[in-house]
Amino acid sequence: MAEPRRNNRRRDETDLFAPVTVARASSSIADQIRAAIIGGRLSEGERLPPERDLAEQFGVSRVTVRDALRALEAMGLIEVRVGARGGAFVTVPSGSVMGQTMSDMMMMQALTPADIVEARLVVELGTVTLACARATDEDLTRLREHAERAKRQLKAKTYTRELSWDFHALLAGIAHNAALEGIAASFRSTLSMHPVRTREPGGGHPRTVEEHARIVEALERRDGAAARQEMARHLLRGTGLEERESQLLALWHAEPAPRQRASRRRVK
């Protein structure tokens, strides 16, 4: 006797996806599932139907479905778990996934050190501005503790570039903007200042620690202008680009020209 077809699916599962007929079926499947996630029809933590059911809905083999799920997992949109309670579960892309994607895109371009410095300036001047406005006292305490730990490790000669990267990641975190956190992940790779710092005579770690501390002090005072100035000095140090970027930096302090009131004097 044939096994009866299961009817315990979610009420909308049969209408969630449409069969695919294009040559690159796995890409089409990934696009449909991605659209369902972004559109809110699949929410974070929700389990996708089993591979067998997905294959039936899409009209493809389970191998094709599996290829699509791998692509979605690489995007950070799902997490595939094994075991009796396993399956594909909707998740939220982490900052590291976002940062890696951006890094891959930027690596395909001919980035110069000047490009990196300029991009960091644009991002981090905005980051410290948001951090100044949004950071909680607890956020600033964590940033201060990191700065103090950096001083201790510098004294013990155990300071590493990872501590500098962690400082900028913390800074992006206290700005409370998920996109900035993703961008900050690229500071560990494509947008790292490390190649510039290694050219500094005597190493740049002592000055980096000192500059980070001054940025923290400005944030603790909620002084956005000072925080931006300290960040700009930090990023431009040793680059030789101070003059080139002077106009950009001036714009952060520019005030709009006052509107002139229309004259009420009649023209005779």
Could you give the residue ranges of the DSSP H alpha helices within the chain? Answer: 13-16, 25-38, 51-58, 62-75, 95-107, 113-134, 137-155, 161-174, 178-185, 194-197, 205-220, 224-236, 246-253
Most confident of 78-87, 117-126, 129-138: 129-138
Where does the chain hold its CATH 1.10.10.10 domain(s)?
18-90
Answer CATH for 18-90 from 3.40.50.1950, 3.90.1170.50, 1.10.10.10, 3.40.50.720: 1.10.10.10
Average model confidence (pLDDT) for the chain? Answer: 80
Determine the pLDDT at residue 257.
Answer: 46
- Domain boundaries for CATH 1.20.120.530 within the chain: 96-250
CATH code matching the domain that covers 96-250, chosen among 3.10.180.10, 1.20.120.530, 3.40.1190.20, 3.40.50.2300? 1.20.120.530
Confidence (pTM): 0.62
Q: Which helix (H) or strand (E) holds 87?
A: strand 87-90
DSSP bridge partners of 81? 87
Mean pLDDT of 219-226: 94
Is the model's pLDDT at 139 over the cut of 90?
yes
